[in-house]
Structure 1
Amino acid sequence: MTTEFDLGVLLAERGAERYELHGRYLNHQLPRMLHTIGFDRVYDRGEGAYFWDADGNDYLDMLAGFGVMGLGRHHPVVRKALHDVLDAQLADLTRFDCQPLPGLLAEKLLAHSPHLDRVFFGNSGTEAVETALKFARYATGRPRVLYCDHAFHGLTTGSLSVNGESGFRDGFAPLLPDTPVPLGDLDALAAELAVGDVAALIVEPIQGKGVHEAPSGYLRAAQELLHRHKALLVVDEVQTGLGRTGDFYAYQHEDGVEPDLVCVAKALSGGYVPVGATLGKDWIFKKVYSSMDRVLVHSASFGSNAQAMAAGLAVLAVMENEQIVANARLTGDLLQSRLAALRDKYELLADVRGRGLMIGIEFGRPRSLKLRSRWTMLQAARKGLFAQMVVVPLLQRHRILTQVSGDHLEVIKLIPPLIIGEAEVDRFVDAFTAVMDEAHSGGGLMWDFGKTLVKQAVANR
């Protein structure tokens, strides 16, 4: 006797156990952390740039699922494409045929990078990076890849080897023989290239951790240095690509930059299906896949699956038809200018930077004695606590979801869905202004919560 599976019934019966289930069977520190900072909300549904809870309260999403929800949640065109591809009952993943959807999606992606020729589809950003590392090593015959300080390229062993943060790397050695260089330091890059064993430099045009952009002219100069030494330029566009920064790829803000390999993921499927893509030059792919014996030398069991490919094609169609890249540029400029105008008003606000809808808000040491003493207390306990003090009331009082941009950083990163407009800008700026007003008043619940964070930070040492 078979029992029919009903997802709706299961969620109705067990959905309230979500935090208990996660603590028991998954990462037990996640629910603990969410409870501590007051992020243990229960969201019932999402649409566009908003969530709703069981009481019907709306929450503005300025996080976009770490960037995967580029079109917001449940875009109707992407939903329809997924229904259509399931209804088509394709003979998917036979592995001994050539389905049309991967080729069609590759063609569309490559149209935005005319100097690139071929695509490998995997399942995530870290897989896209792993592919680029393997391809660069094989194509050049060299072992070493350079990466930038504070970079984030993923957490699998290969991508972790080019991760610029010790907090992620500690305890997982030995890793691959790779070497960090400071972002923007051409002399350091040239010194490493002179050794003669470098396969590539992998770089984010704008680093996700802290939202730091490569200096103007750096990517092109680095490309020239690399090619002079027969090494490759790999650009990680996992977070910055597909319109996030106001151009289709972030490297395109600088004239003359033509990477050898480009890594894409996150927003490519509209947040529905895990997907990653590594775009590259024809000669690199032909060297890796040099004979029929090497046809499967690099592959992925779920790579190029029909659901991911259909979602990707729908996403690219929406981006073109709804002018998503232009909206990211215009709305991002508006948001950044509105926030930058607050710098003179708030001494705790040190910087506002970024491109398009990838914006970093950095806090710094205040001038006034009263605020400075409280700032010093927070910094002594753990750097990054003030940014957390801002993020929490934004959610709890104003129902806006944001994130601190990295461990021990006094930076909030805004990476909202690319569909937001002036109404969402107004809501965020009004809420941020209210939170900063309270912080600068020197009292109130914010600083009381700061004491809670200090106790938690000391207890975790």
Structure 2
Amino acid sequence: MLERQNYDIAALFEARERERFDIHTRYLNEQMVRVLRTIGYDVGFRRGLGQYLYDRNDARYLDLLSGFGVFGIGRNHPALRVALESVLDAELPNLVQMDVPPLAGVLAERLLGKAPYLDKVFFANSGTESVEAAIKFARAATGRSRILSCEHAFHGLTFGSLSLIGDDIFKNGFEPLLGDCAAVPFNDLNALEDKLRTREVAAFIVEPIQGKGVHLPSPDYLKNAAELCRRYGSLFIADEIQCGLGRTGKFFAVDHFDVKPDMILVAKALSGGHVPVGAVLTRKDIYDKLFNRMDRAVVHGSTFAKNDLAMAAGIATLEVIESEKLVENAARTGQRLLTAFKDMAERHELLCDVRGLGLMIGIEFGTPKSLKLRASWTMIETASRGLFCQLITIPLFKEHKILTQVAGHGSRTIKLLPPYVIADDDCAWIEKAFDTVIAESHRVPGAIWSLGKTLIENAAAARRAQAS
């Protein structure tokens, strides 16, 4: 008989929880620990349920990051737990390599039901793996090599995906990257056509809403971009890894723009937050160019991609989204929050723009007009671009128990990606907390600007210590 104490992972978590920073410093990413210590995020999260996190003192926090979009249905949803437990209890014949798993077929069927103009699904383990697969599919289907993406895009951090993103901080130290990739400005059809008309482009991959900064396309951009791709024989790929599966108030973000991509990439929320899963939805003629003979049946794959736990997580997640009407809730609560933030922008000069769809919202800060504020803003932003946003996120976390973060390196935009399950009480919590903190940031001198000076001094001290 198994001795339970040897496999009681909850007890192991409990026993080692307070050592998390020490063991990560010793065995994992020491720099991440330094970041968290600098901004005071050592509260020791011990439990998560729905849209809430609970720290070691059982204080409740509202999570507006949701694992960067992973927890669309919230943390530890009971339906997902039942689904995963049923797989384990059934002792299913998982990952039989000389067989095809039924649950993968079921999940593929349900995903394609949301995009009836597509025919086939390829499963992967993550969003970046889905992007890598899409690159291979596009090259095989078109016989071309060039892949286009957009400036300021984010598509993942594995080698091919990294070659398509628009932020040098992720690329530095890893060049040369995948060859024959190029970027065009987001929302610029002329720049896109200039590249496409060479007829060397296999595919154009674009986030319908750019995650870094939460930038929305003009109303006809995606539809016209897809038309240009068809005209020049290139594939149009929608990367919905973050913005898909209901986040924007429609199941796919492209549904807002009346466009039918040649491929749709999903991941993150499809996992339900427990077992990673990504997927490429595509047309049969594209799929068949890759898997075109029996001896090429395994020309691309991923060992764990169709495992039963991942497929069950995906099936259960789609069922929860449908049965609990979470797409509709994302649309309703997202509109409420957008309206509230736009009202704040009318009253607070540091808040310069609010944009988003559904529960993907960007709150951008910018240079104020009044002299006192402008001097303080300039000091902070000169020391480190995007630092001002931390002067908002830190008090939101410490004083109002709201977890959020900036939309990218050096960004002046705070991004909200809450679970789709948030309620009106949560919206009121968000609105009151943001309004209070933003109002405080307009007081000079004040606690927020003192925090900024402290962060600058700490960063300078850390650089000196590292140099020595």
- Pair in the same fold by TM > 0.5: yes
Aligned length: 460
Alignment of 1:23-172 (within 5 A): 23-172=25-174
CA contact (8 A) 1:381 1:457 kept: no
Q: State the secondary structure of the residue aligned to 2:19.
A: helix
Stretch of structure 1 that moved more, 121-130 or 37-46: 37-46
Residue 240 in structure 1 maps to residue 234 in structure 2: no
In structure 1, the residue matched to 2:400 is 398
In structure 1, the residue matched to 2:425 is 423
CA contact (8 A) 1:381 1:458 kept: no
**One-letter amino acid of the structure 2 residue matched with residue 44 of structure 1:** R
Q: Could you tell me how far 1:379 is from its partner in structure 2?
A: 1.5
Correspondent of 1:263 among 262, 265, 282? 265
In structure 2, the residue matched to 1:282 is 284
Q: State the secondary structure of the residue aligned to 2:273.
A: coil
Q: State the secondary structure of the residue aligned to 1:251.
A: helix
**One-letter amino acid of the structure 1 residue matched with residue 335 of structure 2:** D
Correspondent of 2:186 among 180, 183, 186? 183
RMSD over aligned CA atoms reads 1.3
Q: Could you tell me how far 1:323 is from its partner in structure 2?
A: 0.5
CA contact (8 A) 1:324 1:418 kept: yes
Stretch of structure 1 that moved more, 234-243 or 15-24: 15-24
Distance 1:452 1:259, change over 3 A: same
In structure 2, the residue matched to 1:220 is 223
In structure 2, the residue matched to 1:211 is 214
In structure 2, the residue matched to 1:231 is 234
With normalisation by structure 1, the TM-score equals: 0.98
CA contact (8 A) 2:271 2:317 kept: yes
Residue 449 in structure 1 maps to residue 451 in structure 2: yes
Correspondent of 2:374 among 358, 372, 375? 372
CA contact (8 A) 2:17 2:44 kept: no
**One-letter amino acid of the structure 1 residue matched with residue 92 of structure 2:** L
CA contact (8 A) 2:199 2:234 kept: no
Q: Could you tell me how far 1:174 is from its partner in structure 2?
A: 1.2
Rounded to whole Å, the distance in 2 between the matches of 1:54 and 1:385 is 28
Rounded to whole Å, the distance in 2 between the matches of 1:231 and 1:298 is 21
Correspondent of 2:364 among 340, 362, 365? 362
Q: State the secondary structure of the residue aligned to 1:116.
A: coil
**One-letter amino acid of the structure 2 residue matched with residue 208 of structure 1:** G
Q: What is the identity percentage for the equivalent residue pairs of Structure 1 and Structure 2? A: 52
Rounded to whole Å, the distance in 2 between the matches of 1:80 and 1:270 is 12
CA deviation string 1:238-283 (max 9, x = no partner): 000000000000011012x111111100000211101100110000
Q: Could you tell me how far 1:458 is from its partner in structure 2?
A: 4.5
Q: State the secondary structure of the residue aligned to 2:46.
A: strand
Q: State the secondary structure of the residue aligned to 2:117.
A: coil
CA contact (8 A) 2:397 2:403 kept: yes
Q: State the secondary structure of the residue aligned to 2:363.
A: strand
Rounded to whole Å, the distance in 2 between the matches of 1:54 and 1:230 is 56
Residue 329 in structure 1 maps to residue 325 in structure 2: no
Correspondent of 2:440 among 423, 438, 441? 438
Q: Could you tell me how far 1:454 is from its partner in structure 2?
A: 2.1
Q: Could you tell me how far 1:56 is from its partner in structure 2?
A: 2.1
**One-letter amino acid of the structure 2 residue matched with residue 92 of structure 1:** N
Stretch of structure 1 that moved more, 80-89 or 447-456: 447-456
CA deviation string 1:138-180 (max 9, x = no partner): 1000010000000000000000010111111112111122000
Distance 1:212 1:307, change over 3 A: same
Q: State the secondary structure of the residue aligned to 1:343.
A: helix
Rounded to whole Å, the distance in 1 between the matches of 2:386 and 2:318 is 37
Rounded to whole Å, the distance in 2 between the matches of 1:132 and 1:310 is 23
With normalisation by structure 2, the TM-score equals: 0.96
CA deviation string 1:66-100 (max 9, x = no partner): 10000111111111000001111111101111121
Provide structure 1 residue ranges, at least 5 long, that are not aligned to the other structure: none
Rounded to whole Å, the distance in 2 between the matches of 1:62 and 1:14 is 26
Moved over 6 A (4+): none
Rounded to whole Å, the distance in 2 between the matches of 1:224 and 1:14 is 55
Rounded to whole Å, the distance in 1 between the matches of 2:292 and 2:269 is 31
CA contact (8 A) 1:365 1:372 kept: yes
CA contact (8 A) 1:382 1:457 kept: no
Rounded to whole Å, the distance in 1 between the matches of 2:79 and 2:15 is 31
Correspondent of 1:195 among 187, 190, 198? 198
**One-letter amino acid of the structure 2 residue matched with residue 205 of structure 1:** P
